[in-house]
Structure 1
Amino acid sequence: MSSGQKKRNFQIEAFKHKVVVDPKYADKTWKILEHAINEIYNHNASGLSFEELYRNAYNMVLHKFGEFLYLGLVSTMKFHLQTMSKCIDAAQGGSFLEELNTKWSDHNKALQMIRDILMYMDRTYIPNSQRASVHELGLNVWRDNVIHSSKIRTRLLNTLLELIFRERTGEVINRGLMRNIIKMLMDLGPLVYQEDFEKPFLDVSADFYRAESQEFIECSDCGDYLKKAERRLNEEIERVSHYLDTNSEAQITNVVEKEMIANHMLRLVHMENSGLVNMLCDDKFEDLGRMYCLFRRVADGLSTIRDVMTSHIRDTGKQLVTDPEKSKNPVDFVDLLLEKRDKYDKIISIAFGSDKTFQNALSSSFEYFINLNPRSPEYISLFVDDKLRKGLKGVKEEDIEIILDKVMMLFRYLQEKDVFEKYYKQHLAKRLLSGKTVSDEAERSLIVKLKTECGYQFTSKLEGMFTDMKTSQDTMQGFYTACGSELGNSPTLVVQILTTGSWPTQSSITCNLPAEMLALCEKFRSYYLGTHTGRRLSWQTNMGTADIRATFGNGQKYELNVSTYQMCVLMLFNSADSLTYREIEQATEISSSDLKRCLQSLACVKGKNVLRKDPMSKDIGEDDVFSVNDKFTSKLRKVKIGTVVAQKESEPEKQETRQRVEEDRKPQIEAAIVRVMKARRVLDHNNIIAEVTKQLQSRFLANPGEIKKRIESLIERDFLERDTVDRRLYRYLA
C-alpha cells in the first residue's frame, strides 16, 4: 500500500446466498466445533479442516447463535483446564513446575488454534456483547481453574519462593523454567503477578535480609558487611533481569536497601575500628566508594556519611590548629593543612564522585577550624614567603603555581583576609628589597589571584610596591649620572624609594649610620629633593642590606653580605677591639629587640660567627661583651649573614599588628555604613549590622560592637541621625 492510500479496516463480508436453517442446526454445528476443540486439546489437530471449522463458527454467529457458541466454548475450555489442573497437581517434587509449564504451553497453542476458528465471533459478537475476547477468556479460565485452584495456588507460590531461597543460599536452579512460570503470571495480568507472587516474594525477602543482615553485622567489619550488601543487591538486580518483571527491580532493591543498609546506617558508620572514620584515616577509597554508592540509595544516607565526615574533619582540624607543638613552625603548620585538604579532596574525588555537597562540607569544615587559630593569616603568609624565596630545596619554579593555587584555597577560608594582607605586605617588602624571590612572575601571579578573589582595592598597594622597585632603578641611574664625579671612592649606594602607604614602613625607626654612609645618604637626599619638590624622605634602615669587606686576624679577607643594622654594628669595631652590649646599643640606637637578633646572628650562628661573645650563650644579655672573631674562616669568599628572624611575631609585635589592623578597619566599616545608608536612606540597627557585615566579609568578619561604635562616630559627625521616635532607626543625612 502506498503512503498516499488511506488504511482500510478489514471486514468479513456475509455470504450473499440464502442459507436454509435446520432447527437442530446450532446443536449439530456446535458438536462439530466442540469435537474440534477436544481434538485440539488432545493434540489431534492435524486432521482438522480449519477452513470448514471457521465457516461453521461463522454461520453460527451469523444466525444469532453467538451466545450459544461462546458459552459452549467456556464450558469446554473449563473441562479441559480442570483436567489439566488435576494432572499438574498430581505431579511430584521438581516435576510440578515442569508439568505446569507444559500444560500452560499446550493451553496457549490450543488457544491460538481456537482463536483462528472463532475469529468471526471474536470480531463481531464479542465487541457487541462486551464479553472477554477468546484469548482473554482463555487466560481467565486458566487463572480461575488452574492457578487459583485450591490445590495449586499455595503450592505454586511456595515452590517459587523455595527455589528463590535455594538460589540465594548458593544452589543452582532452572532459571529458564522460572522465567516461563513467572512470565505466565505476568501474562495473566499485573494483579495476578503482584498478588499471587510479588507481594509475598517481597515480604519473604524482607524477612530473609533482615535476619541475614543481623547475622552479617555481628560477625563482619564495616568494609566486609558493605561488600556482602553490595553483592546481595547485585544478585537481586541480576535475578530480576533473568526471570522477574522489570518493574520488580525497584521493589526488591528497596527491600534490600532498607533491611541491609537503612536499618544499620548509624551502626555501620560508627563501627569501632572499621567504620567511616577508620576508612577516612586509612584512605580506604574502595570501601568509601562502596559506602557512598550504597548509602546514596537510601533516604538520609549521604547526609549520614557527610555529617560524620564533617564532624571528624572539624575535630581533627581543631586539634591541629590548637596544638601548640604543631603551631611552632608556620611552614610546617600550613603544610599540615594542605596535606589534610589534599587527602580529603582525593577521597571526595575518587570515592564520592566529586559530590558537590561533600566538597561544600569540606570547605565549611576548613573555614571553621582555620579561623580558630588567630595566627592562621600570618602563618599562611609566612608559608608563601618560604616558598617564594630563592634557593628553596625541592621546589621547582613550575611547581610554584600549583603551590600558589593551594595557598589561595586556604586564603579563601580566612575570615580576616585583611590581616593576611598586612603580613603579606611585610613579607613581600622584605623579598623585594633583598632580591630574594623565586621570580617576579610568581610574585605577580599570586597578586593576580588575590585581585581575582578580592578585587582591585585589595592588591592596589601590593602592585604599587612593584612600581616603586622599577622607579627606584631609574632614580639611581639619574643619581649616579648627575653626582658620579663627586662621589670619588665613596661606598656604592643603592636606594629604594618606597611610597608611603604602599609599603609597611615605620616612621619612628632610628639608627645611627656610619659616618661614611651618612655623608653619602645626605648627598642622595639633596639630589632627590632637588629633582622632586614637595616630598619628604625618611630612611628605613630596618629594611636595608649592605656588602662590606672585612679582614680578620689571620689576614683572610671576606666580603660579608649583612643587614644595615649588622653593618652599623660591625663598623664600630674599626675603632674598638671590644664593646659591651650597652655600648653598641648607645652607639647605634637600634631598638633592643632588633639589636639582640642582630648580635645573635653575628656571634651565635655556627660558621657565620664573625664576632665573639663573652660569655658564650645563645641568648644576648645586657652585660655581654663582643669582639671581632680573629679566627673566623669560611670556604666561601662572599659570606651571607642572615638575621635571626622571628619566624612568627613575638607577642608585643602581634599586638601591635592587631592594633594596626583594627585601626585600618575603622574607615572601611564607616565607608560601608555610609554606602548602605546612602542607598537605603532609613534603616534599623539590626539591618545595618547585617548589610555592613555582608559587604565587608570578603575582607574580614566585622565585629557588631565595632560597627555600633562607627555608627556613633558617624552620628557625631552628622552623617547619620537617630529617629526621634524609634531610637533603633537611623536616617542618612544628605
Structure 2
Amino acid sequence: MSVRSGGKGKIKPPKRQEQSSIEGWESLCKALQSLVKGESENINFYDNYRIAYNIVLHNNGDKLYINLKELLNQHLEEVFSSQVISALSISNTNNPQPNFANMISLKVLKCVWEHYKKVLDLIGPILMYLDRVYCKSAKVPTVHELGKELFRDIIFQPIKYFILDTILRQIFLEREGEIIDRSIIKAIMDMLLELTGQRLVEECDAQGYIKNVEERLEEEQQRVKNYLSSVTEPKIRNIVEKELISMQLKTVIEMKNSGLIHMLKNEKIDDLRRMYLLLERVTNGHEEMKYIISNYIYDFDKVVNKTGAKDNIADTTFQEARDFKNKLDKSLNLAFFNDKMFQTAFNEAFKFLSNKDIN
C-alpha cells in the first residue's frame, strides 16, 4: 500500500446508515492514531474500549479490523521511509567507520521495534473484544499477531540480509578481540526470533512447529560449534527457547486439529514424546501439558453423554472409560516416560472421574 507524502493514517468512517449504531467512531480513530504515535497520556482506555465493543457488537468488526490494518500499515511505511531507510543510507555511504555506522542502523531498528511493541500493547486492551469475538469467528490473526505480521513484511523483509550480515560481522569482530555492543545484538536476535516464531505458528500445525523448533535448536548449537565460543551456547539456547517455545507454548498445545488433545485422541505417541521433550526445556511447559490433560480427563463424561448410545449406556460408558484410561496409560508409558508428575495428575483426575455419576 502506498502512502501519500506527509499523509496520516486514517480509519474510514462507516456508511451513513450505520452511523447511528456506531457512536464515537471519530473518537476511537483519534485515540488509535495517538497511540500509534506513542501519545497515550490523554487517552481514556475504558471509553475507547466501549466504543470498539459497540462497533463489534453491531457486526462492524470487519471494518474496524481492515481499517486498523491500514492504519498500522501506513504507520510502518512512514517509519520505514523516515527512520530505517535514513539510518541505512548512512551505512551505505563511504563511511570511514562502516561497522560503527551499521551498528547505528541496528540501534535505530531496535528503537523502532521496541516502540512498535509498546504501541501494540497499548492498542491491545482497547480492541480486546475485537480479538475475542471478530478475530476468533473470522479466523484472522489477533491484533498483536497482525501487528507483528505487518512489521515483519514492511520493516524486516526488505533489510533482512543487511541485518544478518551486520550481526555476523559483529560476531567475527568479537572473535578477533574487538569490543561490540552485545545488548543491541541480543535485542535484534530477540526480535528476529519473535518474528520467526510468529511465522512458524501461522504456517505450521503443532507437529510441524515442534519439528521446526527442534531443527532451529540444532542449527544454533551447530553455529556455536562452528563460529562462536562455547560460553555463548547457553545464552543463545535460552533466547531460542524463550521466543520459540515459551512465547508460543499455549498456542501450540491448544491447536485444535493438531495440538495435545488431538495427539492423545489419535495416539500420536511419537509426536507426544517430542512435545514432552521439547516443553521440558522451559518453565511451566509440563505444567501446561498436565493442566490440559487433566481437564480432558475431567470432561470425559461430557463427551460420552453427547456421543454415547441411549440403550445400555452404563455398559457403553464403562467400556469407553476403560478404553480411555488404557489409551492415556499408553501415552504416559511410551511418550511421557512414566513421569511421576503426570502419573499423579492422571490418577487424581481418574479418581475424580470414578467418583462422579457419569450416568
Q: Which structure: greater helix fraction?
A: 2
Q: Which structure: greater strand fraction?
A: 1
Q: Which has the higher contact order (CA 8 A, sep 6+)?
A: 2
TM-score, L = length of structure 2: 0.50
> Greater CA radius of gyration, 1 or 2?
1
